[in-house]
Amino acid sequence: MRLLVTGGAGFIGSAVVRVFLGQGRGEIVNVDALTYAGNLASLDAVATDPRYRFVHADIRDAAALSRIFAEHQPDAVMHLAAESHVDRSIDGPRAFVETNVVGTFELLQASLVYYRSLDARRQARFRFHHVSTDEVFGSLGPSGAFTEDTPYDPRSPYSASKAASDHLVRAWFHTYDLPVVLTNCSNNYGPYQFPEKLIPHMILRALAGESLPVYGDGANVRDWLYVDDHAEALLLVLERGEVGRSYNIGGQAERTNLEVVHGLCDLLDARSPASAPHRVRIAFVRDRPGHDRRYAMAIDRVATELGWAPRHTFEEGLRATVDWYLAHRAWWEDIRSGAYRLGRLGLG
């Protein structure tokens, strides 16, 4: 297979690249605009692999996409490029509409033109895999879980833009017969995650001796999914998922934000005792607007139809994540000195 991945220099995208090549699945072309969260250092381990190609391009650029498809002739597309941070979407929603909606439209158009140029054998193999989020479903009460049939109810500019892109992908399937599969995932965590997100944000602030800001009362619940488990699931859906169908992918690890921060503090107490105890630095701060209370994913479809389940428990994944950040200071110190200095976002 020759796979074209958009956003392959991002957190989940770089994991897909590393897992794809590690499994010996074929060749991969990484198309990334290298915005603030794109980081080619996350791909140092594969940068010289002859099966890997990087193309610096923006998915909103129709002419660039046309050239990329003509040159690289992919067998499949996995669309991960997106603006993805809720707090940033509150402060600057335009970028989310432009990338997540307009960018997805341009990629669909380019994919459709390319797909129609293929012979019947290659058309039968081709897939467009759109990667989305559980946030399109809105906020859950204290019980229940999102299924693939849950009605959409996005509450933030980010989730609204992703919901729009999901609808576009389904429209291109029903109207133009583009062979698509979709996935909606729960909160990812793991190595190489940009430190605006909760887990790396808390790790880096703790290591710097700074306060650990928890939004509201800290009782918001998320289902946590280790990023390599997610990458493996994405490749499985791409290979074996039914065309036109969507699959929920979750870690089966619901935790409140405060429980996550407590777990991080305890791990850091053991690994960095000189600055322990870390829990005393927890500070409850003003909540962000429209903060969804709870997400949870039912993964019955991907488990039953494709035989997938997460390989990492939350405790295993959290330990591995903390250890990675402790061992890779150069990766995140470069970010802290430039792209992001751990400041507060999302107050509108």
- pLDDT at residue 181 in the model: 98
* Structural domain containing residue 6: 2-190+225-252+294-312
Asked, for residue 111, whether it belongs to a domain, the answer is yes
Task: Provide the percentage of residues in the chain whose pLDDT is more than 90.
Answer: 98
3/77 Cα distance (integer angstroms):
6
Mean pLDDT across the stretch 295-313?
98
Asked, for residue 17, whether it belongs to a domain, the answer is yes
Q: Which two tokens stand for residue 182?
A: 């979709």
Q: Where are the alpha helices (DSSP H) in the chain?
A: 11-22, 62-72, 86-91, 93-96, 104-117, 120-125, 157-176, 198-207, 227-240, 257-271, 300-306, 314-327, 329-336
Residues with catalytic roles: 134-135, 158
User: Strand 221-226 and strand 254-256: pairing?
Assistant: antiparallel
Q: Which two tokens stand for residue 49?
A: 């692999």
Total count of domains within the chain? 1
Asked, for residue 25, whether it belongs to a domain, the answer is yes
154/71 Cα distance (integer angstroms):
37
For residue 333, what pLDDT band results from cuts at 50, 70 and 90?
A: very high
Asked, for residue 275, whether it belongs to a domain, the answer is no
For residue 215, what pLDDT band results from cuts at 50, 70 and 90?
A: very high
Averaged confidence pLDDT in the chain: 97
Give the residue carrying structure tokens 């058309």.
123
Asked, for residue 206, whether it belongs to a domain, the answer is no
- pLDDT at residue 274 in the model: 86
Say whether pLDDT at 21 is over 80: yes
Asked, for residue 164, whether it belongs to a domain, the answer is yes
For residue 142, the tally of other CB atoms under 10 A from its CB is 7
CATH number at 66 reads 3.40.50.720
Task: Provide the percentage of residues in the chain whose pLDDT is more than 70.
Answer: 100
Over residues 178-209, the pLDDT tens digits come to 999 999 999 999 999 999 999 999 999 999 99
Asked, for residue 320, whether it belongs to a domain, the answer is no
- pLDDT at residue 172 in the model: 99
Handedness of CA 281, 283, 289, 293 (dihedral sign): positive
> CB of 198 within 8 A of CB of 132?
no
For residue 275, what pLDDT band results from cuts at 50, 70 and 90?
A: confident
222/297 Cα distance (integer angstroms):
9
93/256 Cα distance (integer angstroms):
27
For residue 228, what pLDDT band results from cuts at 50, 70 and 90?
A: very high
Q: Which amino acid is at 157?
A: P
